[in-house]
Chains A and B, each alone.
Chain A
Amino acid sequence: MQRYLLRRILLAMVTLLAVSLIIFVMSRAAGDPRHVYLDDYSTQEDWDRLTATLGLDKPYYQQYGIFLGSALRGDFGQSIKEGRPSMEVIVERIPATLQLGLAAFAFSVIVGVPLGILSAVKRGSFLDMAGKVVALVGQSAPVFWLGLMLVFLFAVRWNDWFGDSLVPPYGRQEISSIILPAVTLGWFYAAANLRLLRSAMLNVLDSEYVKLARAKGVSNNIVIWKHSLRNALIPVLTFAGITLGSLVTGSLVVETVFAWPGLGQLAIQALAGNDYPLLQAVVIVFTLMYVAAALSVDIMYAYIDPRIRYS
């Protein structure tokens, strides 16, 4: 178990290092930042001074060393647009994104897991049909459309019935503001969880070891919730690793549709405004969160499946 964990953590660090290198290379390849800072009226002296400040006169390996060193200290340089440290700008946005990501993740689990189990256990029932509809909508409706439809229905169209809009249509002023974006963002993953778990459960329920468990006299509920679920969760968990990673790094579309002040929105602003230092920092933070999510799933994995723990 310790060896497994150690190896996972080392791998995570290698991933981060590789990503830092890619970012470094891409940012050099994306164009000369001096053209962004300087305009046609700048002099050769301005150019030289900026070259020295940015460290562009040093060889590449040294530049990378400096980049890595300051990145480790959390220093990604000044955001061009905001005129303050990039990290400071990002840190302000992290809570909103985490909140939305975790809420969407919770939604995907709370809806997807029980529905997945029940539609396998009660195959062909009304519940199974309802599950199919939930899955169909989640997997086929584009996120931007789903978001707009939810806003339209819950905050505009049905206002007459409820007296007022049920939930705020955008922003992050009230606690209930999170409901619509979380559902929009989480629905796709809820649908995926549902379908994955349903087919995994059907497989497991048909297995010899479930037959043996029943033959031992284990009651139906325990067969489902203990013997079957733990096995069926393995593919779901694999998927959850990817899900959690992409959810906590924010959603460009959902944050834009709902004017949710998170990292996704920030990334778009940075991209649109050629704010390279900020963009670099955002990408690094995304990677960090993604890797952390994947790592936590790996740990869960080992907890659930002994075959992983011991190999």
Chain B
Amino acid sequence: MTTSTTENTAPVVLEVDGLKTYFETRWGTVKAVDGVSFNLRRGETLGIVGESGSGKSVTMLSLMRLIPEPPGRIVDGQILLEGQDLVQMNDKEMSEIRGSQIALIIQDPMTSLNPVFSIGNQVGEAIKIHQDIPKRTVVQQVLNVLRKVNIPAAETRVRDYPHQMSGGMRQRVVGAIGISCEPIVLIADEPTTSLDVTIQAQYLKLLKELQEASNIGLIFITHDFGIVAKMCDRVAVMYAGRIVEMGDVRDIFNHPSHPYTEALLASVPKLEEDVDRLYSIEGQPPTLHDLPTGCPFAPRCQYVMDKCLETYPLQFDVTDSHYAACWRLE
């Protein structure tokens, strides 16, 4: 874990303000992301955690402007990447930014590579799109980037097809595609869920090294607090489409201030404790097309008060760099 004191002075590269992404469905409007704001500094790693359906993946897709429209739509908010608002951009401008300035590493290495094109072709494609350079230079850059992600014998591996590679290797290729154009912001959407733990550790280490080498702002989407502790400087906890708590990793781990964060941390099994039953949060996440008026976590919360059922809680500062949306902090 890096200390956040030196990071805080780095320039902000990504500023998300009041982002709302809704989906029109048969059952009504699903507010998948409902007013999310955060910023990201150069070289910083921000973790976004939450259950399935909390809106973390839709947030990520919104940042890439890859929400399928219709049924989805970014209805409000700003996504400022080095000052330019991605929400206002047209398709053409956006495809120039995608992959070159803001890049994505998808979660499943087994399905995220196209089976009919060679590795070299798929890594080179991003480079070819975003940089106007001769073919030989592209080949050279592909080899460089494959070496960067520690793919052995890159010269021969470029001609391989995805089915000839192992899961760990494929994930590295996906990572190589992510960093191939030296993006400012890299979004990693649960990049290690389908890898076994040793490969996972290797890959995370590699990702961290790559980030430090090029000073990339990294957004790490996961539901694994172990990974958050290892990788992130700051963490945002999402619930029902909003950020309910955000702060430095240590603050969150030591003083979780939102009952949901507390419950999430309590459900991480600890090696040193001998328990018969694993802790789990009672109840189900709310359905996003029919949210209660008050705090969406209230029905599952052990500290629930009358006020919680009536009005959505405001954000209260715990410290300068740590806030939570919970009436208990009032």
Chain A positions within 8 Å of B, measured between CB atoms, are: 207-220, 227, 230-231, 304-307, 310
Contacts and interface: CB of A to CB of B under 8 A. Distances in A.
Contact of A212 (B112, B116, B118, B130): B112
Interface string B107-121: 110011111111000
B104 interface: yes
A307 B163 contact: yes
A235 to B, nearest CB: 13
B66 A212 contact: no
B99 A211 contact: no
A160 B280 CA distance: 79
Contacts of A214: 64, 66, 98
Given A212-B177, A307-B163, A310-B164, A218 B112 contact: no
Interface stretch (B89-97, B144-152, B207-215): B89-97
Contacts of A306: 115-116, 118, 161, 163
B156 to A, nearest CB: 14
15 contacts: A208-B111, A209-B114, A211-B66, A212-B106, A212-B177, A215-B64, A215-B99, A216-B126, A216-B129, A217-B97, A227-B114, A306-B115, A306-B116, A307-B115, A307-B161
B311 to A, nearest CB: 38
A239 to B, nearest CB: 18
A230 to B, nearest CB: 5
A231 B122 CA distance: 14
Contacts of B174: 212
B24 to A, nearest CB: 13
Contacts of B96: 217
Contacts of B125: 213, 216, 218
Interface of B: 64, 66, 91-92, 95-100, 103-104, 106-108, 111-118, 125-126, 129-130, 161, 163-164, 174, 177
Contacts of A219: 92, 95
A306 B114 CA distance: 11
Given A212-B113, A217-B97, 15 more contacts: A208-B107, A208-B111, A209-B111, A211-B66, A211-B112, A212-B114, A212-B174, A213-B114, A215-B64, A215-B106, A217-B126, A220-B91, A227-B117, A307-B161, A310-B163
A208 B117 CA distance: 14
B100 A217 contact: yes
A211 B178 CA distance: 13
B111 A217 contact: no
B161 A212 contact: no
B93 to A, nearest CB: 11
Contacts of A211: 66, 106, 112
10 closest Cβ contacts across the A-B interface? A217-B99, A215-B104, A216-B99, A217-B98, A216-B126, A208-B112, A306-B161, A208-B111, A209-B114, A217-B95
Contacts of B91: 220
A216 B113 CA distance: 12
Given A216-B99, A217-B97, A217-B130, A209 B112 contact: yes
Of A214, A227, A307, most B-chain CB atoms within 10 Å: A214
Contacts of A305: 115-116
Given A215-B106, A306-B161, A307-B161, A231 B114 contact: yes
Nearest to B118: A306
A77 B1 CA distance: 87
Of B106, B111, B116, B125, most A-chain CB atoms within 10 Å: B116
A203 to B, nearest CB: 12
A212 B129 CA distance: 14
Contacts of B112: 208-209, 211-212
Of A207, A208, A307, most B-chain CB atoms within 10 Å: A208
Contact of A231 (B64, B115, B126): B115
Nearest to A227: B114
B124 to A, nearest CB: 10
B129 A208 contact: no
Contacts of A212: 104, 106, 112-114, 174, 177
A208 B106 contact: yes
Given A306-B161, A306-B163, A209 B66 contact: no
B130 A208 contact: no
Nearest to B66: A214
B189 to A, nearest CB: 10
A215 B103 contact: yes
B117 to A, nearest CB: 8
B129 A217 contact: yes
Contacts of A216: 98-99, 103, 125-126, 129, 177
Contacts of B107: 208
A84 B221 CA distance: 79
Contacts of A220: 91
Contact of A209 (B104, B113, B129, B163): B113
A166 to B, nearest CB: 42
Contacts of A307: 115, 161, 163
A299 to B, nearest CB: 16
Of A209, A217, A218, most B-chain CB atoms within 10 Å: A217
A237 to B, nearest CB: 12
A302 to B, nearest CB: 12
Contacts of A218: 95, 99, 125, 129
Contacts of B115: 209, 231, 305-307
A214 B177 CA distance: 12
B100 to A, nearest CB: 6
Contact of B111 (A207, A215, A310): A207
Contacts of A215: 64, 66, 98-99, 103-104, 106
Of B96, B112, B118, most A-chain CB atoms within 10 Å: B112
